[in-house]
Amino acid sequence: MTKYTPPVQGKFGQIVDVIVLLVMTIGALYVPLWMGLAGSAHTSSVPENPTWESLGQNPVMVEKWNQLGYADPASAAELITARFDYSFSVGSLLMMIIVIVGYYAIILRFSENEYREVISEKFGGK
């Protein structure tokens, strides 16, 4: 196995690589945010004229809400009735599984090729 000599990267190339990485990183977080896809579905069904009883709160809970600064049922109603929506489709679940498994498969495969090259250069051919 011949020894691989990498090219030396100049200042300009280094800066370009850093900028490429930065754009990709910030994109990964902000694109879902901008597209409004982020966050889980959150619904609140506040009843009209809520009372502590209709919100299912017992006296101890009411006392705690009061201590926390929610003096009347109406102010706490939105917090109390907030629920996540956990419904999902089998299709999107399968999609996710394929994406995750596929991702690791690609990584492990490419890594293996690169690793064999490293080992044979380090320890010499068999």
- 54 is a contact residue toward another protein (CB under 8 A): no
Segment (H or E) for 66: helix 59-67
Q: Any contact of residue 60 with another protein (CB under 8 A)?
A: yes
**Total interface residues for another protein by CB under 8 A:** 72
Beta-strand runs (E) in the chain: 42-44, 82-84
Options 26, 47, 53, 71; binder of another protein; rule CB under 8 A = 26
Candidate residues 48, 86, 90, 91; the one interacting with another protein per rule CB under 8 A: 86
Note whether 69 and 77 are within 8 A (CB).
Answer: no
The answer to the question of residue 47 lying near another protein (CB under 8 A) is: no
Residue 71 or 119 with smaller CB distance to another protein: 119
Residue 49: how many CA atoms within 13 Å on its side-chain side? 0
Pairwise CA distance, residues 36 & 24, whole Å: 19
Q: Does 83 bind another protein (CB under 8 A)?
A: yes
Q: How far is the CB of 49 from another protein (least distance, A)?
A: 19
Beta-ladder partners of 44:
82
Pair of tokens at residue 54: 């209709």
84 binds another protein (CB under 8 A): yes
Contact between 38 and another protein per CB under 8 A: yes
